[in-house]
Structure 1
């Protein structure tokens, strides 16, 4: 059985109290197998017994010295994926057929998974997980993620002795760092070499595209997002979206906001920044300018709106409204970057049609 050791205070107390029936892994993994080039939250190593371990660190926002080790003794064959991004990674490795359950089936875009929709169980999400259904699926691994703390499902999975692993692509700030987690997934399914080759191809494509516009004299000013309850959240300068804008040859208007977490600004400041921008990206759920005008009437006289330079990343939506930008887009930042270059420097890519972005009409 694959074993996960989660070294946190709460888990240690649970082990002492006998709350967790699984054995802990006391081996030292000190022989490098794969050291990520961009990702900061995982490494693949082996121990003295030649057992491979995926070492995970700080897989959710605010985590401090949280470490985990997953013993990848045998490739996982029956997987429950709690994020659509994990589905995209498995599909990219030709392992979508190992998925037996997902969280939010209606939000999944994956063609491979949708072709097997009748065979895939929806196990729920957040605090509404159907653990009875998970038990019936008999998975050998559940792929979890945390947002600002441990996943609510973790405690019950531990109680049921169902193996799980956290994948921390969500908290990586580098676009390529997010995608590099496909190598960890490759180790899980016994396809690490294939995953490394795939990731290297993505990284090479990304870096070639970035270099192609590095010397562009024109750098359009870019504003992102839309207000929510009269508060406008914007990525900080070290956020992956800000990095994508810079790598695509754009000038992010909030680039002086330091840090990696999103920051809130009031509508007055947002209006001033939007008035300085040439392009408006990712304006909520809008698919037309009319919808956007109804959502944000105050911003209809800003330069991006009046010039029609408003683009949203919701070109590919599932029947349930799931956005493929957050599914396969996280796996393919090279395609996201290519889209942004097309928006910022149309002449650079000829007749290329964006994969994720649409121009609001």
Structure 2
């Protein structure tokens, strides 16, 4: 009896190992990851010859993953788990909800697929503005309160949305109308290249994976080359950023997207050692104590001129950068309807932002380069 038990247990062990090995073998054959190098908020995998898009960071502090199976005309969808979210590709009609999505559509040459957008006056790109002006793109109201009636009538293949906390009644209404909503968390990426890599998110929706990969590799190459050039300077100018809102100074945290750019430009951002990926909220006195003698002041909020700053608060005149005319802004470069070009294009082209910062901080390193976004404040 004892021998029988031993044989039975041994047979069960062999069977379990065999199943485990088969499972590992099947996974190695049917599931492969793409070359997502910098972005942390999404993955693209090939599962049983079907592309699966996973959004890992749909909104801040989310513990929920969203998975979408992207099914082409010739794909066998019979093995997709029941109840899965399915997107038919390539997408032909799309709604996006952030101006940062516009440059990615244009780089992939699919901007004509755009049929609806909220707050269209903020769109700066000439290509997409022409589509808007000729009635090919419909106004959808406000980001947080989309006009779902118009959107549903447009019948897009997918809506690309973003969320602050996962609660959006407009998206729920859209999904009940059998229109897929795909969360885009590019704005949560902590690295500039991670944010730009979301072009691959759009690439796979339009069956333009190779094109998206090629575009990103070019941006990545330009960025890393510029970063290397910046290291040639032995001088690291000190940097102040941000501005006051109702007596509270708002500036980037040390682990933020902006702080990373300033670091890669070989500057000394004075709050580089702080924690967090968002913003710091400080009183004026603490900022003055730390940054009164900063060499540069980058992006002083919405102000366009020093005169505007003085009218808002004479306290700004206590900073050396104000008196030495070393304040640099991006707020003056706008599209025809008032949208700030930086907000739209910079996330997709961090290589240009980095070159701007290097040109400002180390003018001799990029002598032939002209600023793309920034200019000196007058």
Asked if Structure 1 and Structure 2 have the same fold, meaning a TM-score greater than 0.5 normalized by the shorter chain, the answer is yes
Partners of 2:356 and 2:372 within 8 A in 1: yes
**3-state SS of the aligned residue for 1:346?**
coil
Residues 1:312 and 2:311 are matched in the alignment: no
In the other structure, the counterpart of 2:12 is: none
Rg larger for = 2
Name the CA shift for 1:332/1:147 in 2 (closer, same or farther; >3 Å): same
- Supply the distance in 2 between the matched residues of 1:328 and 1:147 (Cα, whole angstroms): 21
Residues 1:355 and 2:372 are matched in the alignment: yes
- Which among 115, 131, 139 is matched to residue 148 of structure 2? 131
TM-superposed deviation, 1:151: 4.0
In the other structure, the counterpart of 2:83 is: none
TM-superposed deviation, 1:318: 2.4
- Supply the distance in 1 between the matched residues of 2:317 and 2:67 (Cα, whole angstroms): 51
In the other structure, the counterpart of 2:51 is: 52
In the other structure, the counterpart of 1:166 is: 183
- Which among 253, 258, 264 is matched to residue 241 of structure 1? 258
- Supply the distance in 2 between the matched residues of 1:151 and 1:200 (Cα, whole angstroms): 34
In the other structure, the counterpart of 2:205 is: 188
In the other structure, the counterpart of 1:17 is: none
- Compute the TM-score of the two structures, normalised by the length of structure 2: 0.84
Partners of 1:126 and 1:152 within 8 A in 2: no
- Supply the distance in 1 between the matched residues of 2:167 and 2:212 (Cα, whole angstroms): 27
- Supply the distance in 1 between the matched residues of 2:129 and 2:114 (Cα, whole angstroms): 11
Q: What is the aligned residue count?
A: 332
Structure with greater helix percent: 2
Partners of 1:335 and 1:355 within 8 A in 2: yes
In the other structure, the counterpart of 2:131 is: 116
- Supply the distance in 1 between the matched residues of 2:266 and 2:165 (Cα, whole angstroms): 32
Runs of 4+, deviation exceeding 4 Å:
none
Residues 1:144 and 2:164 are matched in the alignment: no
- Supply the distance in 1 between the matched residues of 2:144 and 2:360 (Cα, whole angstroms): 39
- Supply the distance in 1 between the matched residues of 2:168 and 2:287 (Cα, whole angstroms): 33
**3-state SS of the aligned residue for 2:160?**
strand
Residues 1:299 and 2:316 are matched in the alignment: yes
- Supply the distance in 2 between the matched residues of 1:151 and 1:322 (Cα, whole angstroms): 25
Question: What does the per-residue CA deviation read over 1:149-178, in whole Å, with 9 as the maximum and x for residues that have no partner?
Answer: 444422112222211101111100100000
- Supply the distance in 1 between the matched residues of 2:265 and 2:168 (Cα, whole angstroms): 34
RMSD: 1.6
In the other structure, the counterpart of 2:62 is: 63
- Compute the TM-score of the two structures, normalised by the length of structure 1: 0.88
Task: Provide structure 1 residue ranges, at least 5 long, that are not aligned to the other structure.
Answer: 1-27
**3-state SS of the aligned residue for 2:255?**
coil
Partners of 2:124 and 2:338 within 8 A in 1: no
TM-superposed deviation, 1:128: 2.7
- Which among 295, 301, 306 is matched to residue 284 of structure 1? 301
Query: Following superposition of structure 1 onto structure 2, how do residues 23-42 of structure 1 map, counting pairs within 5 Å?
Result: 31-42=31-42
Partners of 1:183 and 1:196 within 8 A in 2: yes
**3-state SS of the aligned residue for 2:58?**
coil
In the other structure, the counterpart of 2:357 is: 340
Partners of 2:94 and 2:114 within 8 A in 1: yes
**3-state SS of the aligned residue for 1:276?**
coil
